[in-house]
Amino acid sequence: MLFPKRDSLRCGLFLAHRPEPAGFELFVRIPSLVSVGQLNGSLQIQHGRGVKVFAATQLTKAYKVSVSPAVPLLECAGTGDLLALSDHLASQTDSFVHGMNLFAAVESVGRFLFPREPLEWGGRYWVVTDVPVTPPDRVTAVIEWSRRGSLAQWHVYEAELPATLIASRWDAYEKMLAEFFGRSIRPRQPRAYIVHPSPHHLAADGAYVYPQPPEVLYVRRTSNREVSVEGPPDLLADTRVTALADDWVQINGIRLGTQDVAILINGVEQAVIRIEACDLIQPGGLRAHTRETRWDLLMDTPLSSEQLFSQEVRVECGSNRLAEHVAKINEGWILSGAAVTLPENTDKTLSAGGFGEIRPESSRLAENQDGEQKAEGWHQNSQSPKGTWIDGLIRAKHGPQIAAFVRDFIATPSQGNMQKLGPILTSPLMVYIRAAAEH
């Protein structure tokens, strides 16, 4: 009932790249069962990091469980109505084996590819293996291959297949790479992308989440193939799919409901639409306090530069690991358990990335001397917790230059500033950037 069409799109096994600390995380996604109705029973997951137990009543939202690479990856046991879910998760994770495990990489997350799934020309993949892999020279002459890091004691490589090849050598290269990866290689498949309106957010499984059914969806397709919609009949009774041009399709009439709706091209799922109530982005920052004042680092500092300088400031980070990270990137702050502190009569400038910052207003404006308008835009963005949050996220992931372009777009969401974003436009982070600009 939960996975009626294509297991690979709803796969529960993911690999995520974590730049801080450098490395990768392997996790299993436990799906929400809210659309199924009232259930009984429990689900127990045992893996190298311990045991997790979920009651059926807890699965009104999706959970992710971090696991260590091992064979078998985990053991599942279900009771009552969750026995089928236990069997499903076990069958998916049983495909993780010794040797090469492949994940289709998009941004910083990779979806596990089952052994029956082919690779695609032009695709980017992460390879997780328990032993070092050195491809033959004839393979590296065709593909891009590099070591990306580690996952516990396992190795992680990145492989990028060429999008085009010399026609006379196509068959030979295809046979050689199919033998190396242990699976077939197929041409790049047609794709369909939801362009407008932006979802409220992307769920952990990649679903496009909207608080209310969108009146219209605009979908762009990479080739002139049929775009269709699948889901429960009561949600699609009024749905109409209209081709606007070779590249564009308009979808109207999706109704409110508790079950997912899928967008397909040539009968292959491309995106999952989910309608559920959710608060607008409300990121939480670190908490700072003096003897008399407390504030969230995503909000404006309630003290003047002189007051900050003269008082002791303590920033509660919530965990020793996060406090160590903040102290590491801010020279001079004193680490004290799960907090960092600066004594009175010292500079209080602090940057905690997506968790917020303490920066006197004058120093913010000094960073932007390219004109009065840019300085004003930065000031406006500094008032927005969402702007501060997304700025830290972009800075850590894409660097300060791209972060500056994002700040410009949030302050002034013009067509010119949007064009500066480049590859960020197709990033999952774009939905949050638009939300920060619109609110």
Q: What is the DSSP string of 22-61?
A: TEEEEEEEEPP-TTT----EEEEEEETTEEEEEEGGGTTS
pLDDT given for residue 369 in this prediction: 43
Residues 249 and 176 occupy one common structural domain: no
Structural domain boundaries, residue 310: 287-359
User: Do 343 and 380 reside in the same domain of the chain?
Assistant: no
Q: In whole angstroms, what separates CA 110 from the centre of its chain?
A: 10
pTM for this entry: 0.59
In a shared domain, residues 374 and 299: no
Residue 206 lies in a domain: yes
Query: Could you say which of 128, 153, 186 is where a domain stops?
Result: 186
CB atoms < 10 A from the CB of 268, how many? Answer: 16
Q: Which of 137, 168, 186 is the last residue of a domain?
A: 186
What rounded mean pLDDT belongs to the chain? 81
397 lies in some domain: yes
Domain contains 280: no
User: Residues 293, 328: one domain?
Assistant: yes
Can you say how many angstroms the Cα of residue 88 is from the centroid of all Cα atoms in its chain? 24
Question: 54 and 12, same structural domain?
Answer: yes
**Based on the domain organization, do 151 and 40 belong to the same domain?**
yes
Strands 268-275 and 208-210: parallel
One domain, residues 369 and 224: no
Q: Return the pLDDT at 375.
A: 37
On whether the CB atoms of residues 26 and 15 are closer than 8 A, the answer is yes
pLDDT tens for residues 332-366?
888 888 899 988 888 888 888 778 888 765 444 34
Instruction: Report if residue 198 sits inside a domain.
Output: yes
- Residues 373, 344 share a domain: no
Indicate whether 76 belongs to any domain. Answer: yes
The model's pLDDT over 115-151, given as tens digits with 9 standing for 90+, comes to: 888 998 888 999 999 999 999 999 998 899 999 888 8
What's the domain count of the chain? 4
